[in-house]
Amino acid sequence: MTGKAAIGELEFLRKLQRLLAEGDFVVTYKFALLNALADFALEREPESDGSLRVPLFAIAEKFIEYYWLQARPYRAQNGNGVVLFQNTGKQAAVINAIVAAQIANPTLLGARAAKLRWHTLVTKVAGTVAGMPLWKLQTVAGDRDEFLYREKEATEDTIRLLPGVPAAFRSLYGLVLDAVRGAWMRQIASIGANEPVLGNADLATFLFGSGRASLDGFRDVLRDHQAGKCLYCQKKLQGAGGVDRFIAWSRYPVDLGHNLVLAHTSCNGQKRDFLAYPRHLERWHRTHVERADELAQRFDSETLPHDGERSRAIVWWAYEQGEAAGAHAWIDADRFVRLDRSWRDVLGARALPLVAEPSRSKY
């Protein structure tokens, strides 16, 4: 531990709120940066002192992930539609770089697979991150308050989230994400050049996805993998069955294969956005973690996005937060139970590596 106490959640929230309310944002990068830091806090294990080193390259990859959706033409019909401005002046450099990348590879999965071109793109974006938002984020109204990370602790290619910051992001994730994305959207809506094309209602869906995306592509893979049984009630699926997000979209809005399970539409509908109680978690663990590599190969053969390690980290985080908040976990029908610590016996330690190659990330 350093001599200074780790930041508490309330202080963190106050500072973040001030940053969002008073920060000088002409380009939207600072929102993407905050979103990336929050995601890393969920996905990676902090040091024993509560700090967390984050590589610039990894931040750049997150930027590309977020802006990939946003760099598409808005309201494109018959090939029309325009790319929304992310900057009050000329278009943001990251958007231009991604638009160019999308010409070569329209999907993020395809772009990642083109290794050399991907590396060039990530390097370019990392340069923008280091040059622009990284050292401006924490300056509010001319007043520099380094509560997330410090310039003097940065190396050429990493920053260090200060003790307490990863924990605060973890416990306040939903709130932080709403605040950051709300501010991001308002920023885009306030850019004059966007006015002619912006309606209102569907902007959030366009920018961040809706959770209504079709998951049908996963169905056959999951049916094979789960031997045709509903993950929750273990009974045979008669009809098509529904693809269910084990951790609901409202808790973590990214669709990756290992978080998806096949279930009866009725079981799915009863579970809603609740956590599944530990017996269900045990089943998910048996099929999706213990057999993660097998499942990954099945997803690969259908070119479906997955990242087993990330999904496991998200499940761990969701149960940890659920336990702390006294959440109710779904059993069956309309039966629920308060989540106790027994889920830890199922999932084990947070940092346990899931797959042989921990750095491999498929998108």
Q: Which residues bind Zn ion (CB under 5 A)?
A: 230, 232-233, 264, 267
Residue 283 CB, nearest approach to Zn ion (Å)? 11
Is the distance from CB of 63 to CB of 129 less than 8 angstroms?
yes
Compute the least distance from the CB of residue 304 to Zn ion, in Å. Answer: 23
The DSSP code sequence of 50-84 is: S-EEEEHHHHHHHHHHHHHHHTSPBT--TT--BPP
The set of residues, in sequence order, having a beta carbon less than 8 Å from that of 4 and lying 6+ positions away, is none
Which residue is at the shortest CB distance from Zn ion?
230
Give the nearest distance from C-beta 229 to Zn ion in angstroms: 8
Q: Which is nearer to Zn ion, 197 or 233 (CB)?
A: 233
Selection from 16, 11, 23, 330 nearest residue 175 by Cα: 16
Task: Tell me whether residue 99 or residue 248 sits nearer to Zn ion (CB atom).
Answer: 248
Cα–Cα distance measured from residue 305 to residue 358, given in angstroms and rounded to the nearest whole number:
16
| CB 179 to Zn ion: min, Å | 37
Task: Give 27's contacts (C-beta < 8 A, 6+ positions apart).
Answer: 86, 87, 88, 92, 132, 133
CB of residue 298 vs Zn ion: minimum separation in angstroms?
Answer: 21
| Torsion sign across C-alpha atoms 358, 355, 252, 71 | positive
CB of residue 52 vs Zn ion: minimum separation in angstroms? 39
Between 193 and 233, CB nearer to Zn ion: 233
Which C-beta is closer to Zn ion: that of 264 or that of 312? 264
| Alpha-carbon gap, residue 266 to 253, rounded angstroms | 22
Of residues 29 and 232, the one with the C-beta less far from Zn ion:
232
Residue indicated by tokens 């990284």 = 134
- Pick between residue 149 and residue 232 the one whose CB is nearest to Zn ion: 232
